[in-house]
Amino acid sequence: MPAAPSADTPLSILHEVFGYAAFRGEQGSVVDHVTAGGDALVLMPTGGGKSLCYQVPAIARHRAGRGVTVVVSPLIALMHDQVGALEEAGVHALFLNSTLTSEEAQRVERELVSARVVLLYAAPERVTNPRFLAMLDSLHQRGLLSLFAIDEAHCVSQWGHDFREEYLQLSVLHERFASVPRIALTATADEHTREDIVQRLQLQDARRFVASFDRPNIRYTIVEKDNARAQLLRFVSDEHEGEAGIVYCQSRKKVEETAQWLAGEGVAALPYHAGLDADVRRRHQDRFLREDGIVMVATIAFGMGIDKPDVRFVAHLDLPKNIEGYYQETGRAGRDGEAAEAWMTYGLADVVNQRRMIDDGTASEDFKRIQRGKLEALLALAEAHDCRRVRLLAYFGETSEPCGNCDNCLNPPQTWDATEAARKALSCIYRFAQHRDGFGATRFGAGQLIDVLRGKSTDKVAQYGHQHLSTFGIGADLSEAQWRGVVRQLVALGHLRTEGEFNTLELADTARAVLKGEVDIVLREPREPVRGRKARVARNGQKVPAAAATLDDSAQQRFAALKAWRAEVAREHNLPAYVVFHDATLAQMAQEAPATLDALAQISGVGAKKLEAYGREILRVLGGA
């Protein structure tokens, strides 16, 4: 067994505790800065290793006698998982939240006040509680309050996609403990949100670290909504059968109906939303984290802080509010760096619903204006003819080249000039308003508009005399799908407004420029979605994790044996399997088949504590496979 590193440097801690040979990307610079006592604002994509940016400094500073790091997190599930993973790695970590009994909470508080604990995880409302602040005062007076790590820092911003009012109170940390360094971390923040984080957390002097937002292993696909359930089932069954995934829906009712329907179609699907009983939510989340191949159907109440590395897809059945939300949610796929997919279906109703939620809200006009701009950026991404990734990264201020791994790159869409069609649609809506003739109604929805343009003699067309309009039949050359695209784009661009519960269409002020031919409208042709990757299977028909897909037959056998051993350890320790070892670590063990502890110690992800705890058992499993 190799000798322990002699110096408690960040790099030696990374190797000794976590089993990694080197930091990735910006991690090393962040860790060095924070370990030295500097404040930092860190923007790093989901799966980019944000937690190491404060965990390594926390360990280094604790070993140097500087005391406890307090991690502010809004997520009970994340606290449990990260504390479990740290304890597995030999780092004393605890959480303080509502799941503890009073006796357990008192034990944690004693560990905090004694400064024996290296990292303590707590929710923002707990951290700003007067009693808790008094304990921090005691530590601070003794020089044993080392660092504040504020995770999911975008929650402090009203411009962000997940604003939480309790985060606003965290400014007290700077006001009360000005000498204690702070690191604020988030995976998603545009310029508005970044500036809001800086102002509200008083991080004006903090060094900013902005890593690339690119997740090259994720394939982005957006399809026009036709039969959303059938489209989803085809996507899951054809491309991700038996693999873990998340399906996001906007409403609780839709979550439950979709989960029930998927289960009826043979998919291992579970619902998750804030309206479910807490025990049900916890049970479903535990199954998702600990079992293979579970599909969680959820509202956005689920997912932030979920560390499960082998989520192979994230699907959206409804349009998110903005690109930050879309990016954060899709980023929960492929945290292990292996191939994953972000799939979304959307249509006119999604555009209408999101615009209505903004317009009907009670927020200020300034806030609504910015939210409309964020929605329009997301709609531009959805309607894009060019590389999705280039547009996505540009939103966060990052330039890039076409990726070759999104639907538009893999299967470039055909486009058509819809300017004249748009003028016909707007003219028809104008004629609706002029054509009263004693019939009363002057506004109609997209269905009636398309029927009139295509010259369909329906009962409703006859009822209102719309067959007599000059626009009747002038769009017979276009398909219904093409007309839906025209209307959707006009609503998305703000040239059409929708009104009332029946989503009737009304010309916006900017429609005049389109009618005059001053605005070009270019649309994508409707098409079949590009097929993605089939689920990986071994020769025996069993599903193969992405990390093990390239292993030969004998290595696959060793991998299967290691996975079975890991499952037993995880059950014994009441932890998700990936907290014991990631699939990538098991795959490297299976590939290299180390025969000694020294050789096993060179496997990425095998730290000193895990080598001591599991090394001989792993060698036994490898020898017997």
* Residue 149 included in any domain: yes
Kindly state whether residue 256 falls inside one of the protein's structural domains. Answer: yes
- Considering the domain architecture, whether residues 309 and 265 belong to the same structural domain is answered as yes
Q: In this structure, what token pair is assigned to residue 598?
A: 């020294």
CA distance 307 to 81: 8
198-207, 275-284, 507-516, 518-527: the lowest-pLDDT one? 518-527
Task: State how far the Cα of 516 lies from the Cα of 510, in Å rounded to an integer.
Answer: 10
pLDDT confidence tier of residue 625, bands split at 50, 70 and 90: low
Domain count along the chain: 4
Residue 499: which pLDDT band, with cuts at 50, 70 and 90? Answer: confident
535 inside domain: no
Whole-number Å distance between alpha carbons of 353 and 250: 10
Are both 352 and 254 inside the same structural domain?
A: yes
Same domain, 176 and 285: no
Considering the domain architecture, whether residues 469 and 504 belong to the same structural domain is answered as yes
Pair 226, 248 in one domain: yes
Q: Indicate the DSSP class of residue 18.
A: I
Cβ atoms < 10 Å from Cβ of 129: 14
Q: Tell which wins on pLDDT, 76 or 24.
A: 24
Burial class (CB in 10 A: 0-12, 13-18, 19+), 369: exposed
204 and 223 within one domain: no
**Alpha-carbon separation of residue 186 from 47, 190, 331, 447 (angstroms):** 11, 11, 12, 43
In the beta sheet, which residues pair with residue 120? 70, 94
| Claim to verify: residue 185 and residue 229 sit in the same structural domain | no
Considering the domain architecture, whether residues 464 and 505 belong to the same structural domain is answered as: yes
Q: Are residue 125 and residue 224 in the same domain, yes or no?
A: no
- Assess whether pLDDT exceeds 50 at residue 365: yes
Q: What is the 3-state secondary structure (H, E, C) of 481-536?
A: HHHHHHHHHHHHCCCEEEECCCCEEEECCCHHHHHCCCCCCEEECCCCCCCCCCCC
**Whole-number Å distance between alpha carbons of 9 and 622:** 33
pLDDT digits over 253-267, tens only? Answer: 999 999 999 999 999
Domain for residue 392, yes or no?
Answer: no
Q: Is residue 366 part of a domain?
A: no
Same domain, 604 and 591: yes
- Strands 40-43 and 182-186 turn out to be parallel
Of 6-10, 40-44, 267-271, 601-605, give the lowest mean pLDDT range: 6-10
Do 32 and 157 fall within a single domain? yes
Expressed as residue numbers, the domain containing 289 is 218-360+403-412
Whether 4 is covered by a domain: the verdict is no
What is the domain-level CATH number for residue 563? 1.10.150.80
Q: Which of 412, 432, 454 is the last residue of a domain?
A: 412
How much is the pLDDT for 433?
81
Q: 331 φ, ψ to 5°?
A: -70, -10
Report the DSSP beta bridge partners of residue 497: 506
pLDDT band at 360 (very low <50, low <70, confident <90, very high): confident
* pLDDT over 80 (residue 305): no
SS (H, E, C) 47-65: CCCHHHHHHHHHHHHHHCC
Specify whether 17 is located in the same domain as 122.
Answer: yes
**Interatomic CA distance for residues 114 and 125, integer angstroms:** 22
Encode pLDDT of 595-617 as tens digits.
Answer: 999 999 999 999 999 999 999 99
